[in-house]
Amino acid sequence: MIDAHASIGTVIAVRGAVVDVRFDSTALPAIDTALIVDWDRPEPLVLEVHSHVDPQTVRGIALQATMGLARETSVRATGAPVSVPVGDAVLGRLLDVVGTVRDNGPALPKDTPRRSIHNAPPALEDEKSATVIFETGIKVIDLLAPLAQGGKAAMFGGAGVGKTVLVMELIHAMVEKYQGISVFAGIGERSREGHELLTDMQASGVLERTVLVYGQMNEPPGARWRVPLTALTIAEYFRDQKHQNVLLLMDNVFRFVQAGSELSSLLGRLPSRVGYQSTLATEVALLEERIASVPGAAVTAIQAVYVPADDFTDPAVTAISSHMDSIIMLSRKLAAEAFYPAIDPLASSSVLLDPLVVGQEHYALAERAREALARFEELRDIIALLGVEELGTADRLIVKRARRLQRFLSQPFVVTEAFTGTPGESVSRADTLAGCKAILDGEADDWAESSLYMVGTLAQARAKEAESSKASQGKDAKP
């Protein structure tokens, strides 16, 4: 709310999303205070105080477009940080960075509670460690990079390898399994993607337990920089006040870093490594450390992260990955070979892949699978040059089983059914482990590799193999 005695200032400089405001009063607004610009546009313009330039001037970051903003325009200091609506009233709604409804629906009730977007993370002694496996129904994730309920997982990949599709499939897969609230943060999303997600959620009936928060690609960097905090504030309210489990989905966290980099340049800071802002690690930590679970309520975060130029050593990627429990790497090479989801089984990892968490059987099977796939990767160049016939008996057997396992770990998705015509499959962890064990034990050695490609369980692959064998026998029987 705006203080009746709020101090009044005037705009003295505008540099894109950075606005300097001079106040004649003795006390300047505190850092992170919200400022309201009294201009002649129907849409309000909110600034957030970033720094104090001198005893009378503050430098603010605009959360909406500043086009048309003139010097000497009046600005009111609210005396409080940006606050956004929270609670049951925002369920099923689409909000922007300052909590304004953007779905053309009715306005929120006047008694809707509001909460500041700047909150401290829970104390370390109050946080709860995540050790409960969160089944996704996606075979390669559940086998080699299991997610934790109340943990943080990130999906890293370059452009066009399937990050958004994977996040969408996880949303769909968790609708029935996950009893709680979902909060989706669209950071730097395309308008088309936001519209598609909204209509898909309306059609599937899950929107009533979901909050969508968007800072889109066409919005200024201030909106993209602060929209994750808006989504996180809503998630924290359900965790702390309602004691409900929350699924927090963010797509794409790299755009948050990118927005911070744009603002850093506008603020006149010297860039750091690869041109990123010098405050990169701090900004990422301030966001990620707030994603925490407490006894009685878990916040499970799944984040898509764009990898620029497929360089996994990029400073933004390494800064984000250091906070994750599960790291899922998407491979352009696998996508080019039509293995979907294009998850690299050797580069992906999880702190939960431990015999004390997943059990000795699962751990041993995952190690066997990694070992077979790693050996196959080592032999690829030899096979390409000399052919598989030149390998020893043991290596030929490993290659045979690794190729079949690789195909078995592919899977049709529900969200791609409209494009592929193949019904999506969700596979339980028990069926995934049973299928992988059977392949590594040699049960599918005589099967056609195509029988294991894009199926769900091993039983479906067996039926596909039987149908294929029957068709080939019928073809051979013809005169």
Catalytic residue among 15, 71, 177, 190: 190
Percent of the chain at pLDDT exceeding 90: 72
Higher pLDDT, 220 or 415: 220
Summary mean pLDDT of the chain: 91
pLDDT at res. 353: 94
| Contact (CB, 8 A) for 81 and 118 | yes
User: What are the residues whose beta carbons fall under 8 Å from the beta carbon of 177, sequence distance 6 or more?
Assistant: 135, 137
Give per-residue pLDDT as tens, 87-145. 999 999 999 999 999 988 899 999 999 999 999 999 988 888 878 898 899 999 999 99
Q: Is a pLDDT exceeding 90 seen at residue 472?
A: no
pLDDT of residue 197: 81
State the Cα–Cα distance between residues 364 and 374, nearest whole angstrom: 15
* 179's tokens: 């009893």
Is pLDDT at 178 greater than 80 in this prediction? Answer: no
Q: Which residues of 390-414 are buried (b: 16+ CB within 10 A; e: fewer)?
A: ebeeebeebbbbbbbbbbbbbbbbb
Q: Which residue is catalytic, options 163, 255, 404, 464?
A: 163
Catalytic annotation on 163? yes
Tokens of 150: 């109340």
**pLDDT per residue as tens digits for the range 269-309:** 999 999 999 999 999 999 999 999 999 888 999 999 999 99
Find how far residue 80's CA is from the centre of its chain. Answer: 30
Q: Please name which of 8, 19, 16 lies closest in space to residue 60, comparing C-alpha atoms.
A: 19
Residue of higher predicted confidence among 194 and 158:
158
Residue 77 has pLDDT above 50, yes or no: yes
In this predicted structure, what is the pLDDT of residue 2?
42
Closest Cα to residue 217, out of 283, 160, 262?
Answer: 262
In the three-class reduction of DSSP (H, G, I as helix; E, B as strand; rest coil), residue 124 is classed as: helix
pLDDT by residue (tens digit) across 233-276? Answer: 999 999 999 999 899 999 889 999 999 999 999 999 999 999 99
User: Who contacts 460 (Cβ-Cβ below 8 Å, separation ≥6)?
Assistant: 425
Burial label, 218 (beta-carbon count in 10 A; 0-12, 13-18, 19+): exposed
pLDDT, position 403: 95
pLDDT (average), residues 165-186: 80
In the prediction, which pLDDT does 36 show? 96
As a whole-number percent, the residues of the chain with pLDDT over 70 amount to: 96
pLDDT at 42 over 80: yes
So what's the pLDDT on residue 470?
84
Cα first-last separation, the chain? 86
Beta bridge partners of 19: 14, 60
Top pLDDT among 396 and 204 is at: 396
C-alpha 255/C-alpha 313 separation (Å) is 17
Mean per-residue pLDDT for 180-185? Answer: 89
* pLDDT classification of 146: cutoffs 50, 70, 90: very high
User: What's residue 229's pLDDT?
Assistant: 97
Which of 48, 135, 189, 465 is catalytic? The answer is 189
**Separation of alpha carbons 210 and 171, rounded Å:** 10
CA–CA separation, 242 vs 151, rounded Å? Answer: 19
Q: How confident is the model at residue 479 (pLDDT cuts 50, 70, 90)?
A: low
Cα gap 119→287, rounded to integer Å: 10
* Lowest pLDDT segment from 27-41, 161-175, 443-457: 161-175
Integer Cα distance of 402 and 398 in angstroms = 6
pLDDT at 161 over 80: yes
Residue 180 scores a pLDDT above 80: no
What is the pLDDT at residue 477? 58
- 110 catalytically annotated: no
**pLDDT tens track for 115-127:** 999 999 999 888 8
pLDDT in tens, 323-370: 999 999 999 999 999 999 999 999 999 999 999 999 999 999 999 999
Look at residue 4 in the predicted model and tell me its pLDDT.
43
Confirm whether 190 is a catalytic residue: yes
Q: Where is average pLDDT lowest: 50-54, 167-171, 177-181?
A: 177-181
